[in-house]
Amino acid sequence: MSDESDFYKFAAEFKNRKRPKLAAMMGVNFLVTGVIFLIFLWMGLPNFNGLEWLGFLVMFVLVVVGGTYINWTRSAPNCPNCKSNIVLGRPVHCHLCGQMLKNGCCDRCDVNESWTAMFGNIGANSGNNQVIQYCPHCGVWLDTDFRRLQRRSG
């Protein structure tokens, strides 16, 4: 990075990245879950009294609103510099320090993104479970709360 303002520029762009409209996501989620709810009504639910129905509807609304907000905050995790998805794909840089990986490993941060990592102890690569600070593809600082998706063996 040539300038300190460049260092912070991509992190600010990532925090303010374009996401789907929250109201549109909420509407779609209410529509889909509402249709599922109507199917259950058509199939026949147990006879609830008024207070039980109210509790059921409040839980229904809270689950839809909470789930939509979580999906909205986790949407579009693309680096503003290289446009790559920071959660998926083969990393070239360490997501904790931004340095180039050597054979898929960063000894400084205890990150092992090589294909052999799935055969080892999960605790041996504690850096793999840390939040992404730098783009794993181009190495710019992003300061996110995302984590890399871990490959599972078996």
Q: Each residue's pLDDT tens digit in the chain (154 positions)?
A: 456 667 788 888 888 888 778 888 888 888 888 888 788 777 776 676 777 778 878 888 888 888 888 888 778 788 989 988 888 888 899 989 999 999 888 888 878 877 766 666 655 566 777 889 999 999 999 988 888 765 544 3
- pLDDT the model gives residue 1: 45
> Which residue, 53, 73, 93, sits at the end of a domain?
73
Q: Are residues 82 and 147 in the same domain?
A: yes
**Whole-number Å distance between alpha carbons of 90 and 15:** 23
| Contact by Cβ (8 Å): 142, 135 | yes
Look at the alpha carbons of 41, 22, 76, 106 in this order and tell me if their dihedral is positive or negative.
negative
**Whole-number Å distance between alpha carbons of 42 and 57:** 17
| Contact by Cβ (8 Å): 140, 98 | yes
Q: Are residues 88 and 150 in the same domain?
A: yes
Per the structure, how many domains does the chain have? 2
**Whole-number Å distance between alpha carbons of 81 and 92:** 14
Q: Are residues 143 and 102 in the same domain?
A: yes
- Residue-number span of the structural domain to which 86 is assigned: 1-16+78-154
> Which residue, 36, 55, 73, sits at the end of a domain?
73
Q: Are residues 90 and 140 in the same domain?
A: yes
Specify the residue for token string 């593809």.
137
Q: Are residues 105 and 142 in the same domain?
A: yes
Q: Are residues 110 and 149 in the same domain?
A: yes
Q: Are residues 45 and 84 in the same domain?
A: no
Give the containing element (helix H, strand E) for 111.
Answer: strand 111-112
- pLDDT the model gives residue 134: 93
Q: Are residues 101 and 129 in the same domain?
A: yes
Q: Are residues 38 and 85 in the same domain?
A: no
Q: How many Å separate Cα 133 from the centre of its chain?
A: 13
> Which residue, 31, 47, 73, sits at the end of a domain?
73
